[in-house]
Amino acid sequence: MRVCRIDAVRALAALLLVLALVAPAGARAKEDERTAAAEEALSAWDMPKALQLAEDFVRENPGDPRGAWLLGRVRLHLGDYAGAVALLEEAGAPGNPGGYLDVARRTQAITASYQQQESEHFVFRYPPGKDEVLVPWALETLEAAYHRIGDVVGYKPADGKILVEVVANAEELSALSTLSIEAIKTTGTIAVCKFNKLMITSPKALLRGYEWRDTLAHEYVHLVITKKTRNRTPIWLHEGISKYLETAWRGPPGKALELPSEALLRDAVRAKKLITFEQMHPSIALLPTARDAALAFAEVFSAIEYLHGADPTSVERILSHLGQGLSDRDAVARVYGKPFAHFESGWRDYLRTRKYPEENASIALLEKHFADEQPEPPEKKDDRSPWRDLTELSEFREIKDARARKAAHLGELLRARGKHAAAAAKYAEAVARAGAQFPNLSNKYALALLELQENEQARRVLESTRKFFPNDVFTNLNLARAMMQMGRVREAEPFLRTAVSVNPFDPEIHGRLLAVAQETGDADLLQRSSRALALLTGAAPRTRSPGP
Amino acid sequence: MIDPSHSARPPHPEADARDSLRRVVDSLRRRAWRIHGGTALFVFLAGALLLAALTAVALGLGAPEWVRWPALALTAVGAAAAAAWAWERAARPTDAALARRLESRDPRAAGLATAVQLAELLPLAEGQDLGEKPFSPELARAHVAETAARVEQAGPEKAFDERPLRRAAAAAGGSLALLAVAALVADPVAEGLGRLAFGDGHAKDPRAAPRVAPITGDIALTYLYPAHTGLPPRTVEGTNGAIDAPVGTQVRIETRADRDLAQAFIDVDGASLPMEVKGRQLTGTLLVTRSGSYRFRFADERGRDIAVGPEIPINAALDGAPAVDILAPIAELTVTETEGVELQFEATDDHGVAKVELVFSVGSGPEQVVGIGAWGEPRRRASGSWVWELGGLQLRPGDRITYYLRATDNDAVGGAKQGQSRTQVLTVFSQAEHRRALVAKVEEAWEKMVLALGDRIAPREGPRAVRREERIEAGAPADEQVLEVGTTLADVAAELRKDENAPQELTAALINISQNVLEKSRVTRSVRAKARSAPRLVAELDRAEGLEQQELERSVLYLEALLDRQRILQIEELAREMASSRRELTSLMEQYREAPSDAAKQEILRELARLRERMRELMRRMAELSKGIQDEHLNAEAMKAMAEERDLASGLDQIEKLLGEGKIDEAMAKLQELGMQMDEMAKALSEAADSQAENDPALRQLAEDLQKYEQQLDQVAAEQQEIAKSTEELRREQARELQAQLQREGGEALVDELQKKVERAQQALEKLPADVPMRLSDDLGGAKERLENLKDALAVEDFDAAMESAAQALAHAENLERTLDRELGYARQFDLPERQELEAARGPTAEATPLVREVKEKLEELFANPSQRMSQQQRRQLEQLAQRQEELGRQMAQLQQQAEQIRQQAPIFDEAAQAAMEGAQRSMGEASQQLRGRNPGGALASERQAQEQLRTLKQGLEQARQQARGNRGAGGGFPLPLASGGRGGQRGSGGDFNEREKVAIPSADQYKAPDEFRKDILDAMKQDAPAGFKEHVREYYEEIVK
C-alpha cells in the first residue's frame, strides 16, 4: 500500500516564516517564485530540477537558511542522509518527531550499516545479513516491473536510479516513513513509497512472509504514478492502478485479487453496499473498519479493471491527463468518453455482471501479522513425519459447517497420532463438505497424503485450493514437495518461485530450488539458491536435494 | 678480484680479517668440544648406567656388598677414558687442523687453513718487518681478507657432524629409562640401587638403639569407660596388650618385666608415662584419645634405655553419630489437613541416644523443629511413637510437608553428634489433585480410542481402502483394539463411579460410551466371524464397521470436549485457590501492620511461599493446557488470560521485596493490584468454560438440539398430564356409577379378597430395608404409600380411588423392579459394593409386584364393559381423548427421533433414558387402545405409566444440569450426558458426615499400607453414608484404620 504523506504544506509554511524574517523585502517576490518552483519539483519528485534549483539558490544566497532547508530536503529525497542532516541542521530545522530532520537522522542511523547492490535502474539497499537473500529476486522483479509496467503506463523514469530500501520491522518502517507504529500494524502496512524511494519491510518480519515481490512492484507503480502525474493523482486512482498493475511484472495485470477480496466485492455488489469514491477520500486507510478498507481496495481495483478491459491504453492516458493538471473525474471522463457519472454507473453495471467465485473466505486471511504479534511458529509434531507442519490449529474456526469441522478436527487428531491414512479420510470428508477455500485444511489433507506417498492425489487437492489462493506459500511449497516426491523436479520450479516470492527466508524452499537448478542446469538459480542457503543456514551450500 | 667495497671498511682491515678468522676457529673448537665432549659424556653415562643396572640387579638379588666397589671403580675408569677421548679430539688439534677439517667439509671455507696459517705469520701493524717470508704479504693479506669475508658465511656445523652426539644421547637416555623402569617395577633392582648408592648401612637407624624384642609378659588391661557410655569397668587378663576401647577410656595396664629393672615407661604419642615398678611387676595408666600404638621401655638408674618393647596397637573406637529410622508412616503419605499422624521411629547409637526431634517444613517455608523423644539414661536403642497433630499447622489442601527425624547422642567426650532419617513427605489431600489424576486416566483411555478409530477408518475410507472380501481380514485388527478400548473405558468408568470426587458428567459419558462401543464392537466381531464363512456378508460387515466408526467418532469428539471442559475447570479451581490464598495474605498483612512482629512476618512469608507454589502450579498447568487444549473451545480472552499469568509471578516478587524493605503499605497496594489481575484472569477462565459450547459449532448444535428436545419433552409431559386428568374425570364418573351398582349388588367378599392381597404386597415391601439407595427409595415409598391409599379406598368401597391407587401402586412397583434390575446390572458389571444389598431387595419386590397387578386387574374387571354405563357424551369424550392420546404417541415417536439425532452427535442418552422413552411410547399406545376400547380405568393406568417414564427422562436431564452446577457455577450451555448411569443421587445429600471431622488417629501400622489404599480409605471416609448406615460406616472405618 502506498502512503504518501506530504509534509510540504507544513514545510512551506516554515519556509515562508523564515523568508518573512530574513529575506529583504525587495527580493522576496522573486525568491518566492523560485522556491515555489523548487518545492513543486520536489513535490513531483522531479529530482534533477529540484536539485538544480536548490543548488542555484544556495549558490546565489550563501548562508541563507532557506537554501539549506531546501537543499537538505532534496538530499533526503536523493538518499544522501548525511548531507540532508547537515543541511537541515544548518537551516535550523526543528527536530520534532516526524519532521524532515528527524526522518533524515533516523534514516541515517538505520541505514548506516546497509549494504547495497545495483541493477540498471535500481539501487537496492538492505541490512547486512540474511536480507541479502532478497537481492537477486528483488532486482529481477524491479527491472521486470520497470519495463512491463512502464509499457502500460507509458512512463519509464530516466532521471537516475531508483532507491529501494529494506527495513527490518514495523518500527523501522515507521522511522523511515513517518507513519505511526499503530497505523502500520492496524492497517497491515508493509511497504511505503515516499521521499522518492521505495521502502519495504523485510519478509522475515512477518511470520509467514507476504507477497513481497508483488509489493515491490506495487510500490514501484506508486512511484511511477507520482512522477508521471507530478503527484497529482488522487488516492483511489493511485491505489486502484497500483493494485491492478502489481502483477504485471510477472504476467498479465489484474491478477492480484484473492478469494477473500473477490468474495467481499461480490457480497457488497449483491447487497448494494459498495463504498463510494467520495468515501474513500482522503485515504482508504481512514475507513472505519478493516473490512471497509479491503472492500475499497477491491472496488478501485475493479474500476481500473473495467477501464483497462475496455481500452488497454486507458491507464496511460488517464495519467497523462492528470499530469497535465486535469482532475481525476475529468481525466477519467475524457478517457471514458462520457461524463464521470456515466463511468460510475457503467462500472457498477460491470460489477454486477463480473464473474465472481462462489466460495467464501474470511478477510482475516488478508491480514498481515508481524512476527512479534504471533506465537512461535509450529514445530514438527510427529517425529515420524519428514514434514514441518506450518499450519495452525485455529484455522478450523473459519469452517462454519459443523460436520466438516468435526471431520477436519478428527483428521487433525488422527494425523497428530501418526494415523495418516485415517486422517486423510477425514480431511477428504471435510474438504468434500467445506470446499477448497480453506488453504490450511487442504494443506493438512495434502500433508497426510504426502506421508502416504499419494502424491498425485495430494497435487490435485492442492491445485484446487491454489485456484483461490495462487500465492499461498504452503500450498505452493506442498505442491513442490509433491512434484519432487513424484520425481518431477522441473515442474516444482514455478511453485517454488511463487513460494520464494512470499517467504524467501525458508531454507527448504531454497534447498528445493537448488535441486531444481541442478536438474535444469540453471546457473543463475544455482548461484542464488546456494548463496541463500549459505546465508540462511550458515552452512556450506548443499549440492543435493533436501529430501523427498 | 677484490671487492672494491672493502676499501670502505674501517682502518686495520687486516686486523678485522684476523679477528674474523679467530672467531671462526674459536667456534670450530667450541663445536669440537660440544660434539666430542658431549659424545664422550653420553657414552660414559650410557655405560655407567648399564653398569649400575647390572650391579643393582646383582645386589638386589643378594650379592655381597663388595660388588659395588668394582662397579664404582669401573665407572671412574670409564669417566677418565671418556674425558681423555674428548680432550684428544677437541683440545689437541691445532687451529690449522680445525680449519682444514672445515675446509674439507664446506666449499665456502676453501683456503681457510692457509689463511689461518698466513694470518699467524703476518705482522699486525703496518711497517713491521716481515723478514724473509716465502710469500707475498699483500697477496697473503688479500687471501686472509677474502677468506675471512667468505668464511663468515660458513658455520662450524659442517666440520663436526652431530649424529654421534645424538646417538650417544639416545643411548644414555635409553639406559636411564631402562634403569628407571626396572627400578620402578622390580623391587630387587630398587633395593640393589639403594645398596649400590648407600651401601648396606643405608636402611639402618644411624643412632644406636637397643634391639626391639618382647620384654614383658602377660598384660592385664582394666578399662574404665567414660560415663556417657554407661559401661561398667572391665578387666581383661592375659592379653598381648592390644587396647580396644572408646575414646576417653582410661586403661590401667599391669604387666611383668622380663628382668629386674629400675625404671619403666609407657611410650605413647611421643609421651613417656612412667610406670610403677615393684620388682618385676609394672603398673601404669593411659588415656585412649586416638588409635595408634604404645610400647614399654625400660631404663637403668641413670635413665639410659636398656630395652624397648615392640609397638602394641591401640584401637580407639570413635563415638559414631546416631542413626534414626522412620518406621511409619510410609515415605509419601496423603493426609487430611486436620488429622493426626503417628510417627513411629527407632534410633540407635553406639553408646546412647539422648533425644529425637522432628524437623519439618511446609512447602518451601522455613524448617521447624519439634522434640518427640528424650532420654536421661544412656540408651543404645531408643524407639517410640509420637502423634503429630496436623491441625495446628493451618494446612491447606495440596500443601506438601517434607520432614525427617533427627537423633542426638549423649557423647560428653567428643561432643554430641547427630544423625537424621531419610526425608519423607506428607501431602494434604486435595480433591482437585485427586480429580486431576482421575481425569488423566480418562485422557489415557481417550487416546486409545483415537488410535483405535484411526485403525478402523484406514481400511474402510483411507486412500488405499480395502474393498470386497479383503475387508474381512483387513478390518480384523481394529476389532481387537475397539474391544480393548471399550473394556478400558468401562474399567475407567467403574473406577470413576466408585469415586465421589470424579466429575460426574465424565462418569456418565464414559458409561454411555463404553456401553455403546462395546455393543457396536460385539456386533462387528460377530458379523466378521460369520462373514469369514459367508463372504456375501461383506456389505453387512461394512455397515457394522461403519456404525462402530460413527460411534467412535462421536465419542472421541464428545469426550474430548468434556476433557477440555475439565481442564478449564481445573485451572479455574486453581485460580480460586489462589484467590483464597491471596485473601489470607491480605489479612495477615493487615495484622502485621497493626502489630508488627517477627512471627507475623514469618507467617506472611509462609503464605507468600504457598501462593507462589500455587502460582507455579498454575503456570505449569496453563503451559500444559496451551499445548493440549483445542483452542476451538476457547475464546480469545481466555487465551489472553493464559498469556497474562506470567506477569503475576513478578508481582509476587515485588511484594516480597517490599515486605523485606518494611514497606508494608506499598506491599499491600501491590497485593491489591495483583488481586485484581487474578480476579480478571479467573473471570476470563470462567467465561472460557461458559463459552466453550459457543465457540464450537458442533457443540452449539448439540446444545440446541438438546434444548429443543427438552422443550418438546415438557410439552408432551404436559399434554399427557392433561389427558390423564380428563381420563381421570371420566374414570371418576364411572366409578361413582360402579360404586352405586356394587352397593346395590353387595361386594364385601371381593373387597376382603382385594384387601388381603394388598396387605400381602405391603408385607413383602416391608421386607426391604428402609434405607435403600435413593434411586430406589422414591418408587418404594410411592408404592407403599399408594398401597396404603388403596387399602383405605377399599375399606370405604371407593373403587374409583382404589382403581387409581392400584394403578399408581403398580406403576411404582414395576418401576421399582425395573430400576432394581438395572442397578443390579450395574452393580454386577462394575462389582459395586451395594450388589448384595440390591440382590436382597430383588426378592420382596418380585413378590409384591404380581399381587398389586392382580388387585388392579380385579378392579379393572369391575370396570369392565364400562361402555354400557356410559352416556353418549362420555363416549364422545373418550373418543376425543383417544385421538389426543394417539397424537401424543406420534409426538413421542418424534421425540425419540430427536433423541436419535442427538445420539448421532454425542453419547448423551444412556440405556435408562432410551428405555424410558420406549416405555413411554408403549404406555401411550396402550392408553390410546384402552381409550378406544372405552376403558378409561385401563387407559388411566397406562397414562400414569407414561407420565412416570416422562418424569424419569426429565429428571435425568435435570440431574445432568445439577451435576454440572456441582462442578462450577453453571453448566455454561454445555450439553452434558444424562446422569442416570453415573452416581447421581446415589448418596443422600442430607448426610452429616463431615469430611473434616476427625475420625480417629490412624495407627502407625496402618500407614504401612500402600498409599493407594490409604487414599481410597480417605476418599471413602469423606463420602456421605446413607442415613442409618452412618454409625456402621464409622465403625467400619474405625476398625480398618486401627
Cell numbers placing A204? 522475515
DSSP B231: P
Residue A117 to residue A140: CA distance in whole angstroms: 12
pLDDT digits (tens, 9 = 90+) for A39-94: 999 999 999 999 999 999 999 888 889 899 999 999 999 999 999 999 999 999 88
Residue B339 to residue A79: CA distance in whole angstroms: 80
Task: Report, in this order, helix, strand and coil percent for chain A, each rounded to 5.
Answer: 65, 5, 30
| Model-wide pTM > 0.80 | no
- Give residue A32's pLDDT: 73
Nearest chain A CA: its distance from B452 CA (Å): 10
Res B387 pLDDT > 50: yes
CA dihedral (A273, A276, A282, A284) positive or negative? positive
Beta partners for B267? B272, B295
Residue A374 to residue A365: CA distance in whole angstroms: 14
Residue A232 to residue A226: CA distance in whole angstroms: 7
Cβ atoms of B488 and B519 within 8 Å: the answer is: no
Res B179 pLDDT > 50: yes
Q: Which residues are within 8 A (CB) of B1040 and not within 5 positions of it... i.e. 6 or more apart?
A: B1006, B1017
Cis peptide before B378 (omega within 30 of 0): no
The candidate with the shortest Cα–Cα distance to B476, out of B526, B442, B512, is B526
| Nearest CB neighbour to A414, from listed B454, B698, B701 | B454
Angular region, B405: left φ>0, alpha ψ -120 to 50, beta rest: beta
| Higher local confidence (pLDDT), B144 or B588 | B588
* Exposed e or buried b per residue across A146-157, where buried means at least 16 C-beta atoms within 10 angstroms of its C-beta: bebbbebbebeb
The H or E element spanning position B732 is helix B697-745
Within 8 A of A423 by CB-CB distance, chain B residues are 454
- pLDDT category at B1005 given cuts 50, 70, 90 is very low
Residues of A with CB under 8 A from a CB of B: 393-394, 396-397, 400-403, 405-406, 409-410, 413-414, 417, 419, 421-426, 428-429, 449, 452, 454, 457
Which of A396, A399, A414 is the best substitution to test chain B (most B C-beta atoms within 10 A)? A414
High-pLDDT (> 70) share of chain A, %: 85
- pLDDT category at B644 given cuts 50, 70, 90 is low
- Give residue B19's pLDDT: 77
Residue A367 to residue A210: CA distance in whole angstroms: 10
- pLDDT category at A19 given cuts 50, 70, 90 is very low
Residue A12 to residue A42: CA distance in whole angstroms: 12
ipTM of the prediction = 0.78
- pLDDT category at A390 given cuts 50, 70, 90 is very low
- pLDDT category at B69 given cuts 50, 70, 90 is confident
Cell numbers placing B156? 662450524
Helices and strands, counts by H and E, chain A: 24, 5
- Measured between CA atoms, the residue of chain A closest to residue B629 is A393
Give start and end residues of each alpha helix (H) in A23-161.
25-43, 47-60, 65-77, 81-90, 100-111, 134-153
Q: Which residue do the cell numbers 515486605 mark?
A: B659
A34-38, B176-180, B742-746, B1006-1010: segment of lowest average pLDDT: B1006-1010
The candidate with the shortest Cα–Cα distance to B1011, out of B383, B437, B395, is B437
- pLDDT category at B425 given cuts 50, 70, 90 is very high
User: For the sheet containing A115-118, what is the strand order?
Assistant: A115-118, A122-126, A162-167, A197-201, A191-194
- Residue B1016: CB atoms within 10 A of its CB come to 14
Cβ atoms of B308 and B264 within 8 Å: the answer is: no
pLDDT digits (tens, 9 = 90+) for A254-310: 998 888 899 999 999 999 999 988 787 666 766 777 788 889 989 999 999 999 999
Cβ atoms of B442 and B496 within 8 Å: the answer is: yes
Residue A298 to residue B730: CA distance in whole angstroms: 74
- Give residue B153's pLDDT: 63
Mean pLDDT of B452-465: 95
High-pLDDT (> 70) share of chain B, %: 82
- Give residue A379's pLDDT: 46
Mean pLDDT of B591-600: 83
- pLDDT category at A172 given cuts 50, 70, 90 is very high
Residue B313 to residue B295: CA distance in whole angstroms: 9
Res A11 pLDDT > 60: no
DSSP A312: T
| Higher local confidence (pLDDT), B661 or A435 | A435
- Measured between CA atoms, the residue of chain B closest to residue A452 is B463
Residue A475 to residue A458: CA distance in whole angstroms: 10
For chains A and B, what is the number of CB pairs under 8 angstroms? Answer: 79
DSSP SS3 for B275: coil
Res B763 pLDDT > 50: yes
| Higher local confidence (pLDDT), B700 or B517 | B517
Mean pLDDT, chain A, rounded, equals 86
Q: Which of A158-172, B195-209, B356-370, B788-802 has the highest mean pLDDT?
A: A158-172
Cis peptide before B329 (omega within 30 of 0): yes
H, E, C per residue of B303-346: CCEEEECCCEEEEEECCCCCEEEEEECCCEEEECCCCEEEEEEE
Res B643 pLDDT > 80: no
Res B587 pLDDT > 90: no
Res B518 pLDDT > 90: yes
- pLDDT category at A15 given cuts 50, 70, 90 is very low
Cell numbers placing B999? 475420625
A89-93, A427-431, B94-98, B341-345: segment of lowest average pLDDT: B94-98
Res A8 pLDDT > 50: no
- Give residue B419's pLDDT: 94
The candidate with the shortest Cα–Cα distance to A340, out of A218, A443, A237, is A237
Res B7 pLDDT > 70: no
Cβ atoms of A201 and A184 within 8 Å: the answer is: no
Within 8 A of B447 by CB-CB distance, chain A residues are 417
CA dihedral (B838, B839, B842, B843) positive or negative? negative
pLDDT digits (tens, 9 = 90+) for A362-387: 766 666 666 665 444 444 444 554 55
- Give residue B825's pLDDT: 82
Q: Which residues are within 8 A (CB) of B533 and not within 5 positions of it... i.e. 6 or more apart?
A: none
pLDDT digits (tens, 9 = 90+) for A108-127: 999 999 999 999 999 999 99
Mind giving me the DSSP string for B488-524? HHHHHHHHHHH-TTS-HHHHHHHHHHHHHHHHHHHHH
Cell numbers placing A4? 504518501
Cβ atoms of A254 and A244 within 8 Å: the answer is: yes
Phi and psi dihedrals of B335, rounded to 5? -130, 170
- Give residue B998's pLDDT: 32
- Give residue B1042's pLDDT: 37
Q: Which amino acid appears at position B133 of this protein?
A: K
- Give residue B152's pLDDT: 66
- Give residue A523's pLDDT: 96
The H or E element spanning position B235 is strand B234-239
Residue A14 to residue A72: CA distance in whole angstroms: 14
Please write down the long-range contacts of A494-501, taking CB distance under 8 Å and 24 or more positions apart.
Answer: A498/A470, A498/A471, A498/A473, A499/A473, A500/A137, A501/A137, A501/A211, A501/A212, A501/A213, A501/A214, A501/A471
Cβ distance B698 to A422 less than 8 Å, yes or no, reads no
pLDDT digits (tens, 9 = 90+) for B929-976: 988 888 887 788 889 889 999 998 888 888 777 765 555 444 456 777
Q: Which residues are within 8 A (CB) of A322 and not within 5 positions of it... i.e. 6 or more apart?
A: A229, A232, A233, A237, A328, A331
Residue-range domains of chain A with CATH:
2-111 (1.25.40), 115-353 (1.10.390.10), 384-465 (1.25.40), 470-548 (1.25.40)
Res A221 pLDDT > 90: yes
DSSP SS3 for A162: strand
- Give residue A41's pLDDT: 93
Cβ atoms of A393 and B632 within 8 Å: the answer is: yes
- Give residue A544's pLDDT: 45
- Residue B1003: CB atoms within 10 A of its CB come to 15
Res B60 pLDDT > 60: yes
B464 and chain A: CB distance < 8 Å anywhere?
A: yes
Cβ atoms of B455 and B556 within 8 Å: the answer is: no
Q: Which amino acid appears at position B873 of this protein?
A: Q
- pLDDT category at A20 given cuts 50, 70, 90 is very low
Within 8 A of A394 by CB-CB distance, chain B residues are 631-632
Cβ distance A409 to B630 less than 8 Å, yes or no, reads yes
Mean pLDDT of B320-330: 92
pLDDT digits (tens, 9 = 90+) for B247-280: 889 999 999 998 888 899 999 988 899 999 988 8
- pLDDT category at B407 given cuts 50, 70, 90 is very high
CA dihedral (A108, A111, A113, A119) positive or negative? negative
- Give residue B243's pLDDT: 94
A135-144, A489-498, B396-405: segment of lowest average pLDDT: B396-405
- pLDDT category at B357 given cuts 50, 70, 90 is very high
- Measured between CA atoms, the residue of chain B closest to residue A409 is B557
- Residue B872: CB atoms within 10 A of its CB come to 7
Mean pLDDT of B638-661: 67
Q: Which residue do the cell numbers 478400558 mark?
A: B488
- Measured between CA atoms, the residue of chain A closest to residue B458 is A422
Within 8 A of A396 by CB-CB distance, chain B residues are 632
Cβ distance A452 to B457 less than 8 Å, yes or no, reads no
Mean pLDDT, chain B, rounded, equals 80
Cell numbers placing B345? 521411629
| Higher local confidence (pLDDT), B236 or B100 | B236
Residue A525 to residue A493: CA distance in whole angstroms: 10
- Measured between CA atoms, the residue of chain B closest to residue A381 is B627
- Give residue B365's pLDDT: 75
Cell numbers placing B148? 675471512
Beta strands in A143-206 (DSSP E): 162-167, 191-194, 197-201
A444-448, B605-609, B905-909: segment of lowest average pLDDT: B605-609
Mean pLDDT of B115-130: 64
Cβ atoms of B811 and B945 within 8 Å: the answer is: yes
A233 burial class (0-12, 13-18, 19+ CB within 10 angstroms)?
Answer: buried
